[in-house]
Amino acid sequence: MTKLDTKIVLNRPAEKPVAAVILLHGMGADYNDFVPLVAELKLPISVKFVFPNASVIPVTINNGLKMRACYDILDFGDLHREVDTRGVLQNVAKINCLIEELIAEGFKPEQIIMAGFSQGGVIAYYTALASEHDLAGLLVMSSYLPDISLLDVVKIQHKNFLPILVCHGTQDQIVNIAYGRRAVQHLQAFGVKYQWLEYPMQHSVCATQVKDISKWITQIFVK
């Protein structure tokens, strides 16, 4: 399996990290997209942020145009997106390897948060919900769950302890908020607890959301 291209950013370079956040970008962006978020979060603890770069692939709904994407999107409707499930699973496998690398470095699973925006959020969902490890948390921004059949229901039902924060913009023109609501409805059906936050924004991240994410991360690690 090809090793992921990643960018590492420490919010407090002089201190040893006590936690790690893997944050995946959306389609058409790259691993630099969320680097500014590290400083904006103003976290009170030292965190290692890992930003994986998605591969450059042809995207069907964009007329085959090549761009960075976690997987191909074949078609989409009002509440459904047909995606390349093989590509989804390949990326989940890569992120699982990245989690193992962090554990080998000395991080405990309960020190690792899985996060993602848009397409990255899809991979974050599948990775955290089906992980063999008890991760610290799952952060999903402006995303969706395209294929529930990919999830192991038995594993999901054991994720009641997992802190989950799902954020979405009410004016999202790329991933309609209905997609996000449908995803958390599935979580609810599985008996998984989550926190849902809406913001008056498009397919992006806003200042209020950044403050909410900072508070959420802090609550996980600062007891």
Query: What percentage of residues in the chain have a pLDDT greater than 70?
Result: 96
Q: Answer whether residue 142 is part of any domain.
A: yes
Q: How confident is the model at residue 148 (pLDDT cuts 50, 70, 90)?
A: confident
User: What pLDDT, on the 0 to 100 scale, is given for residue 80?
Assistant: 62
Res. 82 pLDDT band, cuts 50 70 90 = confident
| Predicted pLDDT of residue 152 | 73
The answer as to whether 1 is a domain residue is: no
CATH code for the domain in which residue 185 is found: 3.40.50.1820
Query: How many other β-carbons are positioned within 10 Å of the β-carbon of residue 114?
Result: 31
- 44 within domain boundaries: yes
**114/91 Cα distance (integer angstroms):** 13
Would you call 131 a catalytic residue per the annotation? no
Q: What is the pLDDT of residues 52-77, one digit of tens each?
A: 999 999 999 889 999 999 999 988 76
pLDDT at 190: 86
Q: Kindly indicate the confidence band of residue 126, based on its pLDDT and cuts at 50, 70 and 90.
A: very high
The catalytically annotated residue of 133, 203, 212, 214 is 203
Q: What is the domain range of residue 144?
A: 6-221
Q: Which of 72, 84, 118, 131 is catalytic?
A: 118
Q: Is the pLDDT of residue 117 over 70?
A: yes
Q: Is residue 178 part of a domain?
A: yes
As given in the structure block, the two tokens for residue 86 are 């093989």
- Average pLDDT along the chain: 93
* Domain contains 180: yes
How confident is the model at residue 57, as a pLDDT?
Answer: 95
Whether 152 maps to a domain, the answer reads yes
Total residue length of the chain: 223
pLDDT of 154 reads 61
pLDDT at 149: 79
In-domain check, residue 184? yes
From residue 191, how far is each of 144, 185, 186 by CA, in Å?
Answer: 18, 10, 9
Q: What is the pLDDT of residue 96?
A: 96
Q: Is residue 75 part of a domain?
A: yes
Strand partners of residue 81: 76
Catalytic residue flag (residue 5): no
Convert the pLDDT of each residue in 180-198 to its tens digit: 999 999 999 888 899 999 9
Residue identified by tokens 């993602």 is: 116
**How many domains does the chain contain in total?**
1
**Alpha-carbon gap, residue 161 to 70, rounded angstroms:** 27
Q: What is the DSSP string of 136-148?
A: SEEEEES---S-G
Question: Helices in 28-176 by DSSP H: which ranges?
Answer: 35-41, 85-105, 119-129, 153-156
Q: Is 80 labeled as catalytic in the residue annotation? A: no
**pLDDT given at position 18:** 97
